[in-house]
């Protein structure tokens, strides 16, 4: 009888412990405002997870690429659709009067940019809309738009996409994007950490090599273009740690069929945060991550913006070990043009986002890339 009572007491304690863990679990994976925190081991469900995740505070669908005319003229382009929750829960868990529950009231910010390969003129435009008829993102799959800018899956169950954008009456493009590699999920166990705080993390989904075909109009001239693009889809509730002010990010598409993604999270004192990372994607789409101690990010050229005054380290060398050979190599990112700054008029802070060549140690072009530099015209803290 005594043994039975002891066993019963033990089972009750196990149940209470299990129940307490389950009750605490939702709090552990939510911010004080009530937004979700990226959780290790998350099982993604596609095509649904190509769509919007309003339980997270911020999200973006980001496409950069290189377009080539038949005569070899090289253009660079960027289209980004941002979603940010306009309402947050109060710290005590209550919903402010007159607002809806988190995730139902959304702001959509859009950025579109084009570097004209003929004139080297950089054009950009921003839009900001509340969710509604003019801006939205589907919960079921990839379908996001802001005005006449849109990114949509070509067909149900297909990984191909259709991208449409414009820059006032200066430029317009309609592009088909077809993956040449499987979707990549960066990070560890489905989570890409950005800082020591567990909340400073994202789910980071990428198509690293997209074949591009379509039409481009610059001014009154229409032309057919082909090329390569890169697409990121990130959702999180914070991208920065308490002592970080911004980041340097790059995606490289090499001619040997591989890609490199790297980001350097920058602290207020200018040092590199240990949660910075680099990843190689091999020809088959397999990913190999490297820690911040296994690569260096070295500025070798600067450009000062005449409008914002920001001094951007817009030419860099990334030095890392090549996993294919085991030998260290240097990858130099050289901008196609120095001025590729978006003014941040609606988003609040200017940043540099530019098309680059990738050069090896001998100066030979071995690929193409995009480089993003944030936090040089003002801290990004509190904005992401």
13 or 353, which is more confident: 353
Q: Examine residue 23 and state whether it is found in any structural domain, yes or no.
A: no
Is residue 24 very low, low, confident or very high in pLDDT (cuts 50, 70, 90)? very low
CA atoms of 352 and 377, how far apart (whole Å): 10
What is the rounded average pLDDT of the residues 12-38?
60
Residue 112 within a domain? yes
Would residue 384 count as lying in a domain? no
- Distance in angstroms (rounded) separating the CA atoms of residues 11 and 9: 5
Could you tell me which residue, 324 or 378, shows the higher pLDDT? 324
> Of how many residues is the chain composed?
384
Q: Is residue 17 part of a domain?
A: no
* Percent with pLDDT over 70 in the chain: 86
Whole-structure pTM value = 0.88
Kindly state whether residue 33 falls inside one of the protein's structural domains: no
Domain presence at residue 118:
yes
Residue 41 reports pLDDT greater than 70: yes
* Residues 164, 172: Cα–Cα separation, whole Å: 8
Kindly report, residue by residue over 120-159, the tens digit of the pLDDT. Answer: 999 999 999 989 889 999 999 999 999 999 999 998 667 8
pLDDT tens per residue across span 184-196: 999 999 999 999 9
Does any domain span residue 227? yes
Per-residue pLDDT band for 113 (boundaries 50, 70, 90) equals very high
Domain residue limits at 139: 46-373
**CATH number of residue 86's parent domain:** 2.40.370.10
Residue 87 DSSP code: -
- In the chain, the percentage of residues whose pLDDT exceeds 90 is 78
Number of domains in the chain: 1
In a domain, 323, yes or no: yes
pLDDT tens digit string along 69-84? 999 999 999 999 999 9
């Amino acid at each position: 009888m005594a043994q039975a009572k002891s066993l019963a007491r033990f089972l009750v304690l196990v149940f209470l412990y299990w129940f307490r863990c389950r009750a605490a679990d939702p709090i552990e994976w939510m911010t004080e405002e009530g937004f979700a925190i990226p959780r290790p081991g998350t099982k993604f469900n596609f095509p649904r997870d190509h769509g919007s995740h309003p339980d997270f505070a911020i999200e973006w669908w980001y496409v950069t690429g290189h377009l080539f005319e038949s005569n070899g003229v090289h253009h660079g382009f960027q289209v980004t659709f941002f979603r940010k929750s306009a309402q947050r829960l109060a710290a005590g868990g209550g919903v402010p009067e007159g607002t809806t529950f988190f995730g139902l009231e959304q702001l959509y910010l859009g950025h579109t940019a084009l570097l004209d390969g003929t004139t080297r003129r950089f054009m950009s435009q921003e839009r900001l809309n509340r969710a509604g008829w003019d801006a939205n993102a589907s919960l079921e799959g990839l379908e996001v738009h802001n005005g006449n800018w849109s990114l949509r899956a070509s067909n149900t169950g297909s990984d191909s996409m259709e991208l449409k954008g414009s820059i006032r009456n200066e430029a317009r493009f309609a592009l088909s994007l077809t993956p040449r590699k499987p979707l990549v999920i960066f990070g560890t166990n489905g989570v890409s950490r950005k800082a020591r705080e567990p909340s400073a993390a994202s789910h980071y989904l990428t198509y690293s090599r997209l074949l591009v075909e379509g039409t481009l109009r610059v001014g009154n001239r229409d032309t057919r273009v082909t090329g390569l693009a890169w697409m990121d889809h990130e959702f999180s509730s914070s991208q920065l740690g308490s002592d970080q002010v911004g980041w340097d990010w790059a995606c490289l598409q090499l001619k040997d069929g591989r890609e490199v993604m790297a980001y350097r999270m920058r602290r207020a004192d200018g040092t590199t945060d240990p949660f910075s990372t680099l990843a190689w994607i091999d020809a088959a789409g397999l990913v190999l991550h490297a820690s911040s101690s296994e690569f260096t990010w070295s500025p070798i050229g600067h450009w000062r913006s005449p409008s914002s005054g920001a001094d951007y380290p817009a030419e860099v060398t990334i030095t890392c070990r090549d996993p294919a050979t085991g030998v260290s190599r240097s990858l130099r990112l050289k901008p196609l043009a120095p001025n590729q700054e978006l003014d941040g008029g609606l988003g609040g802070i200017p940043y540099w986002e530019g098309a680059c060549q990738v050069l090896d140690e001998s100066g030979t072009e071995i690929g193409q890339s995009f480089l993003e530099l944030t936090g040089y015209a003002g801290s990004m803290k509190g904005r992401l």
